[in-house]
Each structure stands twice: as C-alpha cells, then as structure tokens.
Amino acid sequence: MTAPEGVPPKNVLAVVAPHVGGRGAGAALATVFPAGARVTVVESAGEDPAALREAHVVVTALAPVTADHIAAAPHLELVQCASHGYDHVDLDAARERGVPVCTIGSSSAEHHNVAEQTFALMLALAKQLVPAHMALTGADWALPRLQQSLTELYGKTLGVVGLGRIGAEVARRAVAFDMNVVYAGRRRVDPGTEARLGGARHVPLDELLRTSDYVTLHVPLTDATHHLLDAGRLALLKPTAFVVNTARGALVDQDALADALESGALAGAGVDVFDPEPPTSALRLLKAPGVVLSPHVGGVTRETLVRIALAAVENVADHLAGEPPRDVVGG
C-alpha cells in the first residue's frame, strides 16, 4: 500500500539491533517499504540524531526505544515493533506523547516457529539429546548412564502460562503428543477452544506449577510478569519437572532457576531467551546442569523473518495511508 497521492513521503527510522542482524537485516527490511516512506537504517535509535529528529515512524527490531529517544523525535507518530514483544519500548513515554506502539501480534508471523522451538526444547530435554550427543562425540556410549533420566511426553501434563496465540499453538501440538494440557492466565478461553485443545483446563498459576511435568511460558514481559517464576514459584515445581522459556528472559529469575537446577530441585530447563541478550559469560544458566540452550532462535527462521518484516511494514504502510494501525499496545 502506498501513501495517498500528493502526500509527501514520511521518514521511517528502522532500528535493527546487532544481535538480530543489524544493518544488513535492516537494509533488506528497507527494500519492502512503500514508496511513501524514506527509510534510514541504524542499529541503535540514537545512532543518527538527525534521522531520529526527523522520524515520523520508528520501526524497532528488538532495539531499545527509550523515553529519551521518544523525546528527541518531535514528529513521531508511530512506534512499530517488528516482534510480538514490546518490552524494549518505553510505553509510558509513548503514551504521554500520544504515540501508539504496535506489535505484529495478530499476524501469526512467529506463532508456528515459536511453538516448534518450544517442542524442540521439550523433546531435547525428555530424550537427553545434548548430553547424549556430547558423550558420543567423545566416544562415550552413555546409554547406561542416561537411561534413568530418559522420559517421554506421552501422558505428561503440560502447563501453558499464557494461552494466547502462541500458547494455543503449543497446546495444539501437545494434543498430538497425547499430553494433558492445563493453562493459567488472566481469563479462561471459551469452552470450544478448550475442547479443541484436548479438554485443556484453566487453573491458578500455583496449581499449574505444582501439577505440571513441563511448564512453558507464553506471556508478554510487563512489570506484572517480570520474574513471574521467582524462587518461590520455582519451589512449587516437582523435582521431575522441566521449565521451557521461549518468550522473554526476564520472565524467569535466572539465578533462582540456576539454583534449582544446581540443587536438583528441578530436572531441567529449555531456554531460548535471556536477560540481557546476548547473555554475559557470567550467566550461571550457561553452565547449569540439565539445560538445553538456544540463542533466541524461536522467531527467526528464514520463513518467519519474511513474515515478520512484511507484517511490520504492512502496519506502517497502513499508517502512512491514513488507516488505523493494528495491534496497538500503548498510546
């Protein structure tokens, strides 16, 4: 979609953090914007003060957009996150300016891949794939040693924290593995959705933690969900349980999770997201027992990146054409 005829082009600042592709990914993103956009690509919002000052739209790919950045952009009309998450944007500052902040939440761009990554981590944990692989590369036939910790997904209870679009995709796959699904969240979904998800049951978070064999997180990072799994809540889990986080690193107290793994209070964890990203070498989870780690790959397959870019650009194009943007989370 292009801007209406006679409307001058508007300035778009595309901010792509280095750890998700930086300038190279930003250059590719710039090619799909409509003619009614003049795109400047940077790796941090404050990198080009003149471009920020003239920006009408900021598109951010997991790069911080702070109150100072928003204050330095007097013409700013929209902040578009090329992601489902929006914790890297100062929502309060945007709200004070009346600037909407949008995600790509309704696009389904990342849903399938995040659900697949969640199950990849769950299967790796159940089948002990990482220690098995490492042992075999060292000519160690580890079967006798690993056999006591091998398990299966069949018949296990999966606790989904946040049964939104991605959480529902995870639950749908759990049904195919003959798992029992429980979920926690602010509200119960409709009975028809529960039935399609194998009779999924809505339970309080603490009950979910006490009864689940696998706990997977699919909620946004907000003040209310920061360290949602802290030491107290992790202590509710069974010692045979696994935690999987493909949402945001700060949903979990990483030191408390390392404590639980090191003490044997928890069987294992699959972690695709960290706080901060990339993690520092001092992060204890990197060396904790029973972990399977991946570098935030849950939304960045070749196919997913194309869908994310197109969803973000389509929302910006709608704005440039005078149409209301979708997936507004602040404003």
- Tell me the residue type at 200: A
Tokens describing residue 5: 């005829």
Q: Which residues contact 190 (CB under 8 A, 6 or more apart)?
A: none
Tokens describing residue 218: 């699919």
C-beta neighbour count of 212 within 10 angstroms: 28
Q: What is the sign, positive or negative, of the torsion defined by CA atoms of 80, 83, 85, 87? A: negative
* Gap between the Cα atoms of 5 and 86, Å rounded: 32
Q: Which residues contact 48 (CB under 8 A, 6 or more apart)?
A: 13, 40, 42
Active site residues: 248, 277, 296
Identify the residue whose tokens are 């990146």.
305
Report the helix count and the strand count for the chain, using DSSP H and E: 13, 13
Sheet with 10-16, strands from edge to edge, namely 37-42, 10-16, 57-61, 78-81, 101-102, 328-330
Identify the residue whose tokens are 């075999």.
136
Exposed, middle or buried, 67 (CB in 10 Å: 0-12/13-18/19+)? middle
